[in-house]
A and B are shown apart, each in its own frame.
Chain A
């Protein structure tokens, strides 16, 4: 495979069909070593299918996979000894306790020292309940146990399919810290999630898939710098003149009026140009009643995956996402 040196995970032209449905349609992923990689995509985009192929649960219909620098083909199951995975939903023997479940799981695959189980129960905060049967666990507790199970053999590559499902806020924060710590130890974390705000603070690199294909991949910072936005609110009757006055700052298709919230304009310029936007408006005698700036993964996501209704003609297009997207960081508000 070309250009896959130094990658923890690489897929080239990966295809997978379920019957006549193309779940993966030539997927090319490049996941560098030692990063947290956010694997994003709308429902049905093929994220879980990718995880299944990567863990040998289903067999691809074409393309190649490299795991930790070596080809991963049918029958290469030993490669998975260095991989930990939580695919779709955690699975356990309901009549066994958390501790017993981890112990029995550890009997398969790579060898696991028994003290590892206690460490992990502690890590995911299940020590107190470790002897209770899993059938009595809440959803979030099962999810925690699933994360512990994925970490069982201290994997070099961790594949997590929506691991935050059902976790409480403290659990999400703890998971984020754990995953960041793993990446700082040189391990690679490949995580799919719909919690874009979470991915935005956690991931180094993101890949966005739609309909089984990669639509964008790269370091999060780079992607977001291209996706800077300054949002500004003016009186509704002044929107037209505001747009006119801001035109020197942003290309026509980068200056968007919100169709949801009256008076909000999104100016797609680097997020640190909020002052310029404000100044430009003031120069035209228009005073903003609100100003926010930031970079927004959610916006990038919606744009790339078709969540945004792109009109494409004329100067202005409707904004599918709310102008003050919840995933905005570096928010500053001016009166």
Chain B
């Protein structure tokens, strides 16, 4: 408990936490407002419909959430990698281990704190996204009467929980990569490479990629009509897994990543 509270305190005070969140929130708000501002200027009717679905409630709730797991996944990878990498790079893990702390416990609890921060970030991003979408809807003269759609609102907590779970899995990937690399920069670099690598691979290896961590994170949130697949924004629409299968695989990847990070931390020689 001491470690967990301390882990949270460290993250709350860390500028990287708020910079990462600020960038994601800013990007989402910007895109939504840009969509609202230009929705009626599109010549192509299908494109116009697609753009408007982002700012038309109740569909917009889900679209925003999917946007967060897609692009937010990239931010989560970077964030997870930054947190784990700095423990090695700054040598703060060394100090804790020399005080007799369990390496496995220390690293896993660090990640639990990251997961909590991801949850907070997800809620904030989602709230800002909804506000931005309402504003954008006004810009585009789209009705916001669907805002209070009770069926959608009722399912929202579960959707948010699933979204959180998916982003937490993506963050764990970055966390583990940086642990293996023992470095913030290397961890972030390789994490980003994985994210985009998976996206690009969707085009050539869709059958395999659909089982990979970023794809399953997206698929876990997909609704039958709107599936993004692949590593988020580049994704081609392939025959994705069912949301339940995907959710299961999200759990497998999450646990797998954390086990690797724990085992590596336990075995590693800390010579920094």
Interface residues of A (CB under 8 A from B): 18, 52, 55-59, 77-81, 83-85, 87, 89, 91-96, 100, 103-105, 107-110, 149, 152-153
Contact = CB atoms under 8 A, between A and B. Distances in A.
B207 to A, nearest CB: 42
Contacts, number: 87
B269 A59 contact: yes
10 contacts: A18-B271, A55-B98, A57-B94, A77-B100, A80-B100, A92-B92, A93-B90, A105-B96, A108-B95, A149-B95
Contact of B270 (A57, A81, A84, A149): A57
A109 B103 CA distance: 11
Interface in B67-123: 86, 90-92, 94-102, 106
A96 B10 contact: yes
Interface stretch (B1-9, B23-31, B221-229, B257-265): B1-9
Contacts of A55: 97-98
Nearest to A54: B98
A83 B100 contact: yes
Given A91-B90, A94-B90, A57 B3 contact: no
Given A91-B90, A92-B90, A95-B13, A104 B6 contact: yes
A85 B95 CA distance: 8
A104 B10 contact: yes
Nearest to A81: B100
Given A58-B269, A91-B90, A93-B10, A78 B100 contact: yes
A268 B271 CA distance: 41
Given A58-B269, A107-B5, A107-B6, A91 B91 contact: yes
B97 A56 contact: yes
Contact of A57 (B9, B92, B97, B102): B97
A108 B13 contact: no
B99 A80 contact: yes
A95 to B, nearest CB: 6
Contacts of B91: 89, 91
B79 to A, nearest CB: 15
Interface string B52-80: 00000000000000000000000000000
Given A57-B94, A89-B91, A105 B270 contact: no
B90 A105 contact: no
Contacts of B98: 55-57, 80, 83, 85, 87
Contact of A108 (B3, B9, B269, B271): B3
A109 B269 CA distance: 19
Interface centre among A58, A78, A93, A100 (most CB of B within 10 A): A93
Given A56-B100, A89-B91, 12 more contacts: A18-B271, A58-B269, A58-B270, A79-B100, A87-B98, A91-B91, A93-B10, A95-B15, A105-B92, A105-B99, A108-B6, A152-B99
Q: Chain A CB within 10 Å — which of B92, B95, B97 has the most?
A: B95
A109 B101 contact: yes
A96 B270 contact: no
- Name the residue among A57, A77, A79, A92 with the largest chain B CB count within 10 angstroms: A57
Contacts of B106: 108
B47 interface: no
Given A57-B94, A58-B271, A105-B95, A77 B13 contact: no
A59 B271 CA distance: 11
B272 to A, nearest CB: 8
Nearest to B16: A95
A223 B9 CA distance: 51
Contacts of B92: 91-93, 105
B174 to A, nearest CB: 19
Most buried by B among A56, A78, A89: A56
A77 B102 contact: yes
